[in-house]
Chains A and B, each alone.
Chain A
Amino acid sequence: MALTGRAGLLAALAAIVVLLAPEPGLAVLAALLVLVVLVAADLLLAGAVRGLRFERDGERRVRLGQSAAIGLIVDNPGRRRVRGVLRDAWQPSAGAASRRAALDVPPRERRRLVTTLTPTRRGDREAVAVTVRSVGPLGLAARQRTFHVPWTVRVLPPFLSRRHLPARLARLRELDGRHPALVRGQGTEFDSLREYVVGDDVRSIDWRASARRSDVVVRTWRPERDRRVLIVLDTGRTSAGRVGVAPVPGSGPSGWPRLDWSMDAALLLAALAARAGDRVDFLAYDRAVRAQVSGASRTEVLSSLVNVMAPIEAELVEADAAGMVAAVLSRARRRCLVVLLTDLNAAAMREGLLPVLPSLSSRHMVLVASVADPRVAGMAAGRGTAEAVYDAAAAERLRGERREITAVLRRHGVEVVDALPEDVAPALADAYLALKAAGRL
């Protein structure tokens, strides 16, 4: 049960009656009695909440930054009207819009209420409780009960870098030779023979085929296809650090975790590689496999990727590089492109990845992509005061360490992409296209 403000007002007004009553002591008792009787009557006459039935409908998935409408159907099988308020409680970061809604369900009828969710971070957001407060006809007291009506909305990564996809696909078509400009495909895999047209590179003329026919024939090339790309996401402690400005409102002022930027880059790469005809696998690892996608078809790979990525959070443990390399080697039997999304943290790299890197880079093409911190770049440019210069020195020291580790990695034959948060996705896609054009996959 619950009392209402009206009951309090009634009790306060009774004080005036008591003030004017000839027998004030008795009046207090009478007022209390009247209040208790009225509250009890109101409780008895209020619509029953115990028998209410609930159903949910609506979306199961929503991209971060967008809104989802979740319907809640309240079915009142009782004989009295249920009138009052309803609170559909979600986890705070689900961003539920109407915290309490007015409810009025006539007997043996049902009503649908809509809760709009605007999540502020990735992951699974659950409906925690539905609380109904059914107010009596006098408005003095209410019956209240909390129900558990489960529903989970998976908040997917927003894939903001998909705006870079058309430009990269155009580059891919150029490589493929299918570009409207009829530029010769720059791939390395033999595709077919066709007649020479003016403008073709004379170096691509196939003299043997030309001799067989009375025509000049050129070879066409296409980029290699059916290569394997394994995207490995480091979910260790270095991925928890927040950088840049969060592109989704409500994520807080300290920016987005490196993990989210890395996911964005991974999604663009996966979308591009799937279009390019490569097979994309995915692995999230810190000290154990957090999530994986393998053998997904080209049309499904993106949706299964966002689905498994959604609930991943950075774990506050040091990533186990040896275990990760072992996991990669056990999954990738054939040579493939291993894209490792991690942070170029010098100390962590030296102790973790570098000792085990040779076993990986000897069998696979390795590409390390890392999100740089724009705040560090800003600090490095600080001049004028002693404080700013000390900060600049600290930032330069970090950048020096990153350059050094980048050089070490490159000596191991590893490609390195180190870019600011907004640029890391297109930079990684460009690196992939460059590798593909060079036939190094």
Chain B
Amino acid sequence: MTAGTSGRARQTARVTLLAALVLVVAALPVLLSGGPSGGRALDPADTSLNGGAALARLLEAHGVQVARVETPAAAVAAAGPHTLLLVTEASFLNRDAAGRIAAAFGDRLVVGSVPYLDVLAPGVSREGEARTRSRAPECTLREAVRAGNAYTGGVSLTGPPGATGCYPAGDGHALVRYAADGHTVTVLGDASFLTNLRLAEDGNAALALNLAGARAKLIWLAAPDDSAETGGGTDEEARSLGDLIPAGVKWAVIQLAVAVAVVALWRGRRLGPVVVERLPVVVRAAETVEGRGRLYRSRRARDRAALALRAAAADRLAPRLGLRRTATPEEVAVAAAARTGRDPEPVLTLLCGPPPGDDTALVALAAHLDTLERQVRDS
């Protein structure tokens, strides 16, 4: 018996393992395709709180052409003498790509927290962290002065000699602008004033429009939808997961399906027929009594319940008191009172009084009947 059981358990484990393998293979593409994309920070197409859609709409309303690019190559291709390149996210770049962007035509607006700042904005150095809050411009830069207070801070920056610094923060400034090689480079300590969340506060919108709308065309370098597809900014074609899986896997899954079918045939074949048997009915004899008890309870049939209890007590008392079986409850009560020396009146009420008024009285009645029977028995 135990050997058979363990053998069966082993078989079950084997089948379970096989099924799990098939499931994992089937679930792999779904798992790798990733979940729904959340908000991407400062993406002109993103309307979440962190996105930049509001700024992009404002710029377009002011006649600025906003071009959203995802790859450094596209950014360089789109760049011209009258363009401004906005770099808010550069974590997907490599140093070469950053260098190519830095060498492109046109002005640049760079957020100071990006990597390769030394390439994108040479000469600008980070001095440390500064709390992001509303700050006054305290400089002569026209764009900043006209915008007034703005929500800046983040990274404290110092520019190369000749640079203009605005919005003092920490040891440096939250905005640094300088000119190099014929184009203007502006570095921001923090870009959160560009987001949909902050754009309506202070002079954030004015500052953003002044900075980003300085040229007729804004090239907005946003993080690509899936960084894996543009590894290192190469020009490879986007490939789906299906292309990456070797062709053998698909056939192996088919072979696994065959294996599952074989296992199903193995498990599905019974060793002989199902044996049927006519079984006798199983009904407990006490069911009718229990049903009657529940009926009494649900209808609160205290009168009937009390009657049954009193009759049973009288039936048991009568022979003990030397009375006939057909003696009336009154006779039993009088005889019981005489035997126990109790006052006849309460005994009479107990054995043939009115039905109890509530359940508590019924429980008490049952207890009193028990007491009376015990007294008669012991007397």
In whole Å, how far is A257's beta carbon from the nearest beta carbon of chain B? 7
Q: Mark B263-285, 1 if CB is under 8 A from A, else 0.
A: 10110010111010101111111
The complex places the Cα of A100 from the Cα of B272 at a distance, in Å, of 11
A392 CB contacts on chain B under 8 angstroms = 293, 309, 366
Which A residues, 384 to 432, have Cβ-Cβ distances below 8 Å to chain B? 384-387, 389-400, 403, 407
Question: B280 to A240, Cβ gap below 8 A?
Answer: yes
Question: Does B254 touch A at the CB level, under 8 Å?
Answer: yes
A19 CB contacts on chain B under 8 angstroms = 246, 248-249, 251-252
B309 CB contacts on chain A under 8 angstroms = 389, 392-393, 396
Please classify how large the interface on chain A is, using the bins under 10, 10 to 19, 20 to 34, 35 or more: 35 or more
Chain B binding surface SS class: helix
Question: B359 to A20, Cβ gap below 8 A?
Answer: no
Question: B266 to A5, Cβ gap below 8 A?
Answer: yes
Question: Does B58 touch A at the CB level, under 8 Å?
Answer: no
B265 CB contacts on chain A under 8 angstroms = 3
CB-nearest residue of chain B to A381? B370
B362 CB contacts on chain A under 8 angstroms = 386, 389-390
Given A400-B311, A403-B315, decide whether A240 and B266 contact each other with a Cβ distance below 8 A: no
Question: A129 to B266, Cβ gap below 8 A?
Answer: no
A31 CB contacts on chain B under 8 angstroms = 255, 258
In whole Å, how far is B294's beta carbon from the nearest beta carbon of chain A? 8
Given A3-B262, A131-B271, A386-B297, decide whether A18 and B251 contact each other with a Cβ distance below 8 A: yes
Q: Which of B262, B281, B370 contacts A8 (CB 8 A)?
A: B262
CB-nearest residue of chain A to B4? A100
How many chain B residues touch the partner (CB < 8 A)? 65
The number of inter-chain residue pairs (CB within 8 angstroms) is 212
Given A18-B255, A254-B284, A390-B293, decide whether A129 and B275 contact each other with a Cβ distance below 8 A: yes
Which B residues, 350 to 379, have Cβ-Cβ distances below 8 Å to chain A? 359-360, 362-363, 366-367, 370
Q: Which of A2, A5, A379, A386 contacts B363 (CB 8 A)?
A: A386
Q: Which of A8, A35, A386, A393 contacts B18 (CB 8 A)?
A: A8
Q: Which of A12, A89, A396 contacts B275 (CB 8 A)?
A: A89
Question: Does B339 touch A at the CB level, under 8 Å?
Answer: no
A25 CB contacts on chain B under 8 angstroms = 251
Segment of A90-98, A199-207, A332-340, A349-357 in the binding face: A90-98
The complex places the Cα of A405 from the Cα of B370 at a distance, in Å, of 25
In whole Å, how far is B283's beta carbon from the nearest beta carbon of chain A? 6
The complex places the Cα of A127 from the Cα of B281 at a distance, in Å, of 22
Q: Which of A90, A121, A129, A375 contacts B273 (CB 8 A)?
A: A129
Given A24-B247, A390-B297, decide whether A379 and B286 contact each other with a Cβ distance below 8 A: yes
Question: A2 to B269, Cβ gap below 8 A?
Answer: yes
In whole Å, how far is B366's beta carbon from the nearest beta carbon of chain A? 5
Given A31-B258, A392-B309, decide whether A373 and B285 contact each other with a Cβ distance below 8 A: yes
B283 CB contacts on chain A under 8 angstroms = 240-242
CB-nearest residue of chain A to B279? A93
Given A8-B259, A386-B297, decide whether A396 and B281 contact each other with a Cβ distance below 8 A: no
Question: Does A383 touch B at the CB level, under 8 Å?
Answer: yes
Question: Does A144 touch B at the CB level, under 8 Å?
Answer: yes
Question: B315 to A14, Cβ gap below 8 A?
Answer: no
Given A380-B312, A389-B363, A396-B311, decide whether A258 and B262 contact each other with a Cβ distance below 8 A: no
Given A24-B251, A242-B282, A389-B305, decide whether A90 and B275 contact each other with a Cβ distance below 8 A: yes
CB-nearest residue of chain B to A133? B271
Given A241-B284, A242-B282, A376-B286, decide whether A89 and B296 contact each other with a Cβ distance below 8 A: no
A7 CB contacts on chain B under 8 angstroms = 262, 266
Question: A24 to B271, Cβ gap below 8 A?
Answer: no
CB-nearest residue of chain B to A8? B263
Question: A394 to B290, Cβ gap below 8 A?
Answer: yes
CB-nearest residue of chain B to A251? B282
Question: Does A314 touch B at the CB level, under 8 Å?
Answer: yes
Question: Does B308 touch A at the CB level, under 8 Å?
Answer: yes
Question: Does B97 touch A at the CB level, under 8 Å?
Answer: no
CB-nearest residue of chain B to A384? B363
A91 CB contacts on chain B under 8 angstroms = 275, 277
CB-nearest residue of chain B to A11? B259
Question: Does A198 touch B at the CB level, under 8 Å?
Answer: no
Question: B271 to A397, Cβ gap below 8 A?
Answer: no
CB-nearest residue of chain A to B263? A8
Question: Does A193 touch B at the CB level, under 8 Å?
Answer: no
Question: Does A152 touch B at the CB level, under 8 Å?
Answer: no
Question: Does A439 touch B at the CB level, under 8 Å?
Answer: no
B21 CB contacts on chain A under 8 angstroms = 12
A320 CB contacts on chain B under 8 angstroms = none
The complex places the Cα of A11 from the Cα of B14 at a distance, in Å, of 13
Q: Mark A26-59, 1 if CB is under 8 A from B, else 0.
A: 0110011001000000000000000000000000
A16 CB contacts on chain B under 8 angstroms = 252
Question: B284 to A383, Cβ gap below 8 A?
Answer: no
A391 CB contacts on chain B under 8 angstroms = 289-290, 293, 297
Question: A128 to B275, Cβ gap below 8 A?
Answer: yes
The complex places the Cα of A375 from the Cα of B287 at a distance, in Å, of 10
Question: Does B304 touch A at the CB level, under 8 Å?
Answer: yes
Question: Does A316 touch B at the CB level, under 8 Å?
Answer: yes
A375 CB contacts on chain B under 8 angstroms = 284-286, 289
Question: A400 to B366, Cβ gap below 8 A?
Answer: no
CB-nearest residue of chain A to B11? A5
Question: Does B306 touch A at the CB level, under 8 Å?
Answer: yes
Question: Does A104 touch B at the CB level, under 8 Å?
Answer: no
Q: Which of A12, A130, A316, A390 contacts B256 (CB 8 A)?
A: A12
A144 CB contacts on chain B under 8 angstroms = 269, 271
Question: Does A313 touch B at the CB level, under 8 Å?
Answer: yes
Instruction: From B11, B271, B370, name the one whose CB has the most chain A CB atoms within 10 angstroms.
Output: B271
Q: Which of A98, A128, A383 contacts B370 (CB 8 A)?
A: A383
Question: A27 to B251, Cβ gap below 8 A?
Answer: yes
Question: B272 to A316, Cβ gap below 8 A?
Answer: no
8 shortest interchain CB distances as A-B pairs: A241-B285, A131-B272, A24-B251, A393-B305, A11-B259, A391-B293, A386-B359, A8-B263
CB-defined A-B contacts under 8 Å, sample of 25: A4-B266, A5-B11, A7-B266, A15-B252, A15-B253, A24-B251, A28-B251, A87-B272, A89-B273, A91-B277, A128-B275, A240-B281, A241-B284, A243-B286, A254-B282, A313-B280, A375-B286, A391-B290, A393-B304, A393-B309, A394-B308, A397-B304, A398-B292, A400-B311, A403-B315
Task: Beyond A24-B247, A241-B286, A393-B293, list 4 extra A-B contacts (CB 8 Å).
Answer: A2-B269, A240-B280, A243-B285, A393-B309
